[in-house]
Structures are given as structure tokens and as C-alpha cells.
Amino acid sequence: MRVSLVAEAVKGTCAVCGAGSVPVLPFSLIFDGQAGDAEPLCASCLFTAGGIRVDVPLQSLTPEPLGRRKGLKKAKKTSQKQEVDIAAELGGTTQPGSGNQRGAKGDVRKKGELRVEAKFTTARSFSLKLDELYKISGECGLGERPVFVIDFLEPGTRKPKDRFAVIHFEDLKELLNASGQHR
């Protein structure tokens, strides 16, 4: 039997005590062919003297058919192409391992200016969670602004349909003031 627990601190709201804008640990649990996500917990709730119980609803990880593996490879290739394209357009660099390495978080970085998280979808909508925005914000270095880029692609061909960037409202006001378009 093998159990894998994955957690990375992000800024968010604790599911137990409700403390907001604090470092929390959302957990992903993989156990015996099943996986699930736990609600984020702050350090106070996680390390209480009496311990804490967290229920994690698990879903079966069925073996992937060969076509699914091909789809995952295609998604990885699309993601890498997106990161290279964004880096070229913004004058930044792609992060090693798409940000999965310590000290090289985010997908694209322009040191001292931007830290970008890039996602894509072939659907007509994209669900964006506040924790995802806090995560990229928390990964920014000194003077860097967090940017969340979403590419909408044509189903089937995966050709770009449109690209949007989500930035913090305060950063938008600063950009408008710098360009003289905001009073």
C-alpha cells in the first residue's frame, strides 16, 4: 500500500477557522488508486495539540487508456508552447519544469517585473479560484507583479482563439497612472 500526500503553502482562507489572507496548506492525497483534495488549513488549525481530522473525498484513478496518455502528451506540448510564446511576447524566460522546482516558481518570469502562471482551455469557460491567484502572488520576487494568463484555444486544432491576462487591480491602477491614462 502506498500513500502520497502533496501540500504546498499558498495564501488563502483556512477552511476550519476562516482566517483569511494567511498561509494555508491545501492537501492532495493519493492512496491506493484513488485521489482527492482536502480543504486548505492554516498552521494554527493544522498543528493544534489535540490534532485535527480532515475528511478527504477520494475518486478512483482508473487506468488510463492509451488514447488518454496521448492526450496528456498533447496537453503538455500545448502548455510548453504557450509558455515559450508568452515568454517571447513579454521578454521573459520560461521556468524550469513549468515552475515545479524550488526557487523557480511560476511558468514564465521576467526578473524584477513579472511572474506568470499560464493556463489554457478548449472550453468556452475557465474556472479561476482565488487560491490560484494568491499562489502566483506569493511566488513573486521583489518588485514582480503576478499575472495569470488564460489562453482559449479552438477545440480539435488547439489554435489560439483569444488570450486574457488577470492582474491585481492595484497593479492595473499603477499601470494606468504610469501611462497617464488614469486620473
Calculate the alpha carbon distances from 160 to 65, 82, 157 in Å. Answer: 28, 10, 9
pLDDT score recorded for residue 183: 57
Domains of the chain: 3-60 (no CATH), 66-179 (3.40.1350)
pLDDT tens, residue order, the chain (183 aa): 456 556 667 787 887 788 888 888 777 766 666 677 777 788 788 777 777 777 777 776 655 554 566 667 888 888 899 999 999 999 999 987 666 666 678 899 999 999 999 999 999 999 999 999 999 999 888 999 999 999 999 988 889 999 999 999 999 999 899 877 655
- Coil, strand or helix at 117: strand
CA neighbours closer than 13 Å in the CB half-sphere of residue 27:
21
Q: Please enumerate in sequence order all residues whose Cβ is within 8 A of that of 91, keeping only pairs 6 or more positions apart, or say none.
A: 110
